[in-house]
């Protein structure tokens, strides 16, 4: 149970003074929550300002720089209301100081209210942004208007928060001040020596500093208060991952030791030699499987580095040991791709492979479920459908999850609840920077495949402005005439009035007009059978150009495709561009990738395209992507359940992540149930950062 003293912080924001359902919905948006109902007072406390407004600048009217916020001491001269019936004309109040005159400008304002607020002949303090028109100063809707006697009530330094249309800074500020007033006295969860060494203030003091900055340096990510809060967030994340790992490992795993018969036969029949990185990863997995503790390993591989072979040999070991193995993919296309690849790789053996996806007919599904339940299906491949209640395994020993970045901690736990607590190998084709691996997958051991299989040709990458598109189509026509295959990627399925981007359907039409029936089309809105048919036509050579959306980003394998054209490349993230490029260069022939962009390019887009031209190393590209986009966007936090940080930044607080990881490990070793005085305080920390699932694990034992 959550400690009752935290109840005021977990009240919905709609219980705060002046916050109704509509404002609660707007606050949810800036706090990064899905709905108003799940937005709590604590979310306001953990909402970090992005900058500050300094109202201490008092230059006088004539010396106020355009576009800056200043505070002025002025005398009111006259009012100039809008003409009757002309509500689009502003109401102006003219005022002066020793240096010059200014117009205080108001739209749709009530004359009686302005008369009371700005009486003619009175001196008042106004603060807001000054603009100049034809040599005249103007301040539209001043932020603050105060009589001289009230001047001390004006905040001189104000934090600036992210906002959304309809939510005013004043309303948000009032709600945050109310939240600060609800903060109870809490025991500190940090060791006194760690606090002293890092000059961390107390939690309440750090929050007061965050929301009450005095100078710009106070909201710098490296300021002691911000570092304290960042460390709290990182420690909550690392502690919850350590508890997940402890829980997963506590369920006894059965050692899985094969006799090498199948593994040897598969390795012999492979049309390529395993790389050193693949052999090392296979060794890591074999050692994990042989232990009594359950394996929980992340296999990171660059595009085309051969993760499927490592996964298959891990699953073959389970079959040798008399059990079953399962491979779960995030999409139907990818599951069928794995089924085709693995069926080919084990053709020389007597292993039976089953596929189970949501698309199977009820009769096919019933037959497949029977074979899975009686153990005659030894390797089972499928989508999420594999982990529904109706699927029962005879003896599941190894579970492989593909595209791990789409599965969060919750899914990792649900996956392990199936049957006999299988060993887990999770794979990602998206190289993830080391700091992000620690942050999102700190509960896992990691193997990296950073070599390309022998014989893979480099991919030549160029970027061209979209006015060169006719040249590209002419070159594509010649390539198709020589029997080559190409992908043409578009960002949209169909054109909309709101967008000037080329859609896949429109591009398919224009290319078909030039190249005829050699052009195919695949996108996410097509049905499963339609997608399969389009992919099969491309594989078999019936079509030679495949116009597609990013539905082909991961796992699609057509070794004789050698040309990749990405339209509006400036709209894609680096990792996505790298994934898409990885669809070519999979055979023995030299391949090329053309990045078409619409000028002018932003600085970030220019940097992205430049990195793509310079490097094919997915791990370097991932590090650069982290610098350009930040961790939240990189992992797609909303979809994946992985942590998008609110106060911590891996760029500014990378040193704290390592510290938090070690601290969490120490806590789990010395106080695994979090029952000591510090352990109870750490439970509070987990609640504050919404890591309740980790506390539920403690209760579940």
Tens of pLDDT, residue by residue over 586-619, are: 777 889 999 999 989 888 889 889 999 998 888 8
Lowest mean pLDDT among 363-372, 398-407, 486-495, 582-591: 398-407
Tell whether 295 is covered by a domain.
yes
Identify the pLDDT of residue 635.
43
CA dihedral 285, 289, 295, 297 (to 10 degrees): 10
One domain, residues 272 and 413? yes
Q: What's the confidence (pLDDT) of residue 36?
A: 87
Q: How far is CA 296 from CA 34, 378, 398, in A?
A: 31, 21, 10
Q: Greater confidence, 187 or 491?
A: 187
Do 212 and 181 touch, CB atoms closer than 8 A?
no
Chosen domain end from 567, 595, 615? 615
Q: How far apart are CA 338 and CA 325, in angstroms?
A: 14
Of 442, 474, 506, which closes a domain? 442
46 and 81 together in one domain: no
Same domain as 181, residue 315:
no
Between 645 and 25, the more confident residue is 25
Which residues, at least 6 apart from 74, have a Cβ–Cβ distance to it below 8 Å? Answer: 61, 95, 96, 97, 102, 123, 124, 126
pLDDT at 544 over 90: yes
Helix (H/G/I), strand (E/B), else coil: 526? coil
| pLDDT for the residue 527 | 82
pLDDT in tens, 127-162: 999 999 988 999 999 999 999 888 888 888 889 898
Question: What tokens does 636 get?
Answer: 């797609």
Task: Please tell me the pTM assigned to this model.
Answer: 0.67
Kindly indicate the confidence band of residue 637, based on its pLDDT and cuts at 50, 70 and 90. Answer: very low
Coil/strand/helix, residue 145:
strand
Write down the pLDDT at residue 413. 57
* Cβ partners under 8 Å of residue 378, min gap 6: 319, 324, 325, 351, 352, 353
* Residue 237 falls inside a structural domain: no
- Mark whether 131 and 149 lie in a shared domain: yes
pLDDT above 90: residue 92: yes
Interior/surface letters 71-106, b for 16+ CB within 10 angstroms, e for the rest: bbbbebeebebbeeeeeeebbbbebebeeeebbbbb
d(CA 678, CA 671): 9
Q: What is the mean pLDDT of the chain?
A: 86
Q: What is the pLDDT of residue 535?
A: 87
Cβ atoms 469, 597 nearer than 8 A = no
Same domain, 293 and 413: yes
**Number of domains within the chain:** 4
- Band of residue 179 on the pLDDT scale cut at 50, 70, 90: very high
The answer on pLDDT for 408 being more than 60 is no
What confidence score (pLDDT) does residue 411 get?
57
Q: Do 38 and 96 share a domain, yes or no?
A: no
Backbone angles phi, psi at 231, to 5 degrees: -65, -40
d(CA 301, CA 578): 13
If you ran DSSP here, which 8-state letter would residue 40 be given? B
Domain presence at residue 280: yes
Mean pLDDT of 330-334: 80
Q: Give the model's confidence band at 407: pLDDT under 50 very low, under 70 low, under 90 confident, else very high.
A: low
Residues 379 and 509 in one domain: no
The mean pLDDT of 573-595, rounded to a whole number, is: 87
Report pLDDT for 639.
33
When pLDDT is cut at 50, 70 and 90, the band that residue 71 belongs to is very high
The mean per-residue pLDDT over the stretch 395-407 comes to: 76
For residues 131 and 74, state if they share a domain: yes
Question: Does residue 643 form part of some domain?
Answer: no
Residues 312 and 401 reside in one and the same domain: yes
pLDDT at 640 (0 to 100)? 36
pLDDT at 469: 92
Of 137 and 253, the one with more pLDDT: 137
Q: Let me know whether 109 and 169 are in one domain.
A: no
- In this structure, are 300 and 434 located in the same domain? yes
Q: Is 137 a member of any domain?
A: yes
Is 225 part of a structural domain of the chain? no
pLDDT at 301: 83
Helices 261-269 and 307-320 sit at what angle, rounded to 10 degrees? 150
Q: What pLDDT, in 10s, does the model give residues 429-471?
A: 777 776 677 766 766 788 988 887 776 778 999 999 999 999 9
Is the Cβ–Cβ distance between 44 and 181 less than 8 Å? no
What DSSP state is assigned to residue 84? T
402 HSE (CA, 13 A, CB side): 28
End position of a domain, from candidates 589, 615, 641: 615
**Which token pair is 603?**
């600085």
Q: Which domain holds residue 380?
A: 261-442
> Residue 414 pLDDT more than 80?
no
Tens digit of pLDDT for each residue in 518-535?
999 988 788 878 888 888
H helix and E strand count, the chain: 25, 21
As to burial, measured by CB atoms within 10 angstroms (0-12 exposed, 13-18 middle, 19+ buried), residue 697 is middle
Q: Sheet of 296-301: strands edge to edge?
A: 353-356, 379-382, 324-328, 396-401, 423-428, 296-301, 445-449
DSSP label at 690? T
Residue 368 has pLDDT above 70, yes or no: yes
Residue 372 maps to a domain: yes
Give whichever of 281-285, 389-393, 409-413 has the largest mean pLDDT: 281-285
* Rounded-to-integer distance, Cα 299 and Cα 315, Å: 14
DSSP letter string over 182-202? TPPP----S-HHHHHHTT---
pLDDT higher than 90, residue 379: yes
**Parallel/antiparallel/unpaired status of strands 396-401 and 324-328:** parallel
Q: How many CB atoms lie within 10 A of CB 437?
A: 18
Task: For residue 227, report the phi and psi dihedrals to the nearest 5 degrees.
Answer: -65, -40
CA–CA distance, 623 with 650 (Å, rounded to integer): 11
Residue 519: count other Cβ atoms within 10 Å of its Cβ.
23
Residues 101 and 40 in one domain: no
Torsion angle, CA of 134/140/144/148, rounded to 10 degrees? 40
* 298-310 mean pLDDT: 85
The residue ranking higher by pLDDT, 634 or 446, is: 446
Identify the band that residue 641 occupies on the pLDDT scale cut at 50, 70 and 90. Answer: very low
Q: What is the CATH number of the domain that holds 385?
A: 3.40.50.300
Round to whole Å and give the CA distance between 370 and 558. 33
Beta carbons within 8 Å of 10's beta carbon, 6+ residues apart? 2, 40, 41, 42, 687
Q: Is residue 134 part of a domain?
A: yes
């Amino acid at each position: 149970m959550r400690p009752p003293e935290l109840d005021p912080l977990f009240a919905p924001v709609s219980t705060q003074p002046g916050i109704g359902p509509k404002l609660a919905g707007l606050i949810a948006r800036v706090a990064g929550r899905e709905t108003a109902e799940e937005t709590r007072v604590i979310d306001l406390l953990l909402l970090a300002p992005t900058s500050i407004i300094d109202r201490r600048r008092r230059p006088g009217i004539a010396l106020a720089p355009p576009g800056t916020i200043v505070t002025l001491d002025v005398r009111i001269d006259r009012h100039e209301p809008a003409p009757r019936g002309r509500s689009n004309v502003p109401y102006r109040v003219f005022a002066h100081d020793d240096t010059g005159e200014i117009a205080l400008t108001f739209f749709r304002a009530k004359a009686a209210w302005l008369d009371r607020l700005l009486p003619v002949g009175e001196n008042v303090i106004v603060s807001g942004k000054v603009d100049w028109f034809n040599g005249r100063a103007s301040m539209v809707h001043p932020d603050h208007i105060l009589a001289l006697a009230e001047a001390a009530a004006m905040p001189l330094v104000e934090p600036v928060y992210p906002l959304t249309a309809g939510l005013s800074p004043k309303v948000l500020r009032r709600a945050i001040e109310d939240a600060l007033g609800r903060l109870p006295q809490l025991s500190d969860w940090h060791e006194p020596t760690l606090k002293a060494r890092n000059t961390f203030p107390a939690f309440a003091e750090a929050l007061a500093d965050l929301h009450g900055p005095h100078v710009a340096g106070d909201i710098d990510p490296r300021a002691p208060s911000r570092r304290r809060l960042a460390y709290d967030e990182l420690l909550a994340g690392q502690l919850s991952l350590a508890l997940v790992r402890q829980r997963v490992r506590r369920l006894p795993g059965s050692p899985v030791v094969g006799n090498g018969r199948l593994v040897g036969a598969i390795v012999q029949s492979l049309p390529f030699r395993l790389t050193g990185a693949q052999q090392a990863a296979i060794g890591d997995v074999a050692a994990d499987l042989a232990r009594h503790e359950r394996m929980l390993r992340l296999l990171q591989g660059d595009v085309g580095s051969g993760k499927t072979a490592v996964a298959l040999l891990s699953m073959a070991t389970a079959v040798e040991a008399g059990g079953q193995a399962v491979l779960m993919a995030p999409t139907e296309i990818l599951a069928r791709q794995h089924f085709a690849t693995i069926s080919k790789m084990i053709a020389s053996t007597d292993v039976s492979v089953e596929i189970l996806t949501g698309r199977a007919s009820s009769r096919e599904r019933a037959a497949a479920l029977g074979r899975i339940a009686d153990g005659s299906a030894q390797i089972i491949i499928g989508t999420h459908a594999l982990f529904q209640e109706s699927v029962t395994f005879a003896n599941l020993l190894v579970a492989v999850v593909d595209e791990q970045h789409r599965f969060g901690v919750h899914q990792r736990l649900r996956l392990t609840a199936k049957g006999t607590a299988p060993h887990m190998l999770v794979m990602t084709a998206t190289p993830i920077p080391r700091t992000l691996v620690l942050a999102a997958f700190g509960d896992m051991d990691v193997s990296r495949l950073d070599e390309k299989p022998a014989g893979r040709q480099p991919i030549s990458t160029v970027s061209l402005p979209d006015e060169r598109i006719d040249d590209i189509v002419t070159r594509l026509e010649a390539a198709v005439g020589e029997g080559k295959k190409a992908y043409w990627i578009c960002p949209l399925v169909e054109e909309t009035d709101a967008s000037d981007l080329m859609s896949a359907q429109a591009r398919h039409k224009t290319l078909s007009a030039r190249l005829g029936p050699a052009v195919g089309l695949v996108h996410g809105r097509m049905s499963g059978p339609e997608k399969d048919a389009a992919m099969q036509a491309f594989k078999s050579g019936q079509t030679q150009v495949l116009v597609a959306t990013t539905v082909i980003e991961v796992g699609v394998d057509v070794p004789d495709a050698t040309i990749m054209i990405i339209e509006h490349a400036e709209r894609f993230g680096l990792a996505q561009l790298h994934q898409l490029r990885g669809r070519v260069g999979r055979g023995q022939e030299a391949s090329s990738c053309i990045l078409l962009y619409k000028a002018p390019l932003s600085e970030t887009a220019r940097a992205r395209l430049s990195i793509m031209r310079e490097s094919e190393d997915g791990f370097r590209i991932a590090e650069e992507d982290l610098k350009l986009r930040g961790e939240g966007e990189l992992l797609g936090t909303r979809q994946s359940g992985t942590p998008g940080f609110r106060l911590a930044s891996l760029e500014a607080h990378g040193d704290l992540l390592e510290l938090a990881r070690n601290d969490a490990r120490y806590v789990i070793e010395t106080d695994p149930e979090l029952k000591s005085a510090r352990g109870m305080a750490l439970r509070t920390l987990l609640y504050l950062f919404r890591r309740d699932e980790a506390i539920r694990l403690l209760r579940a034992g």
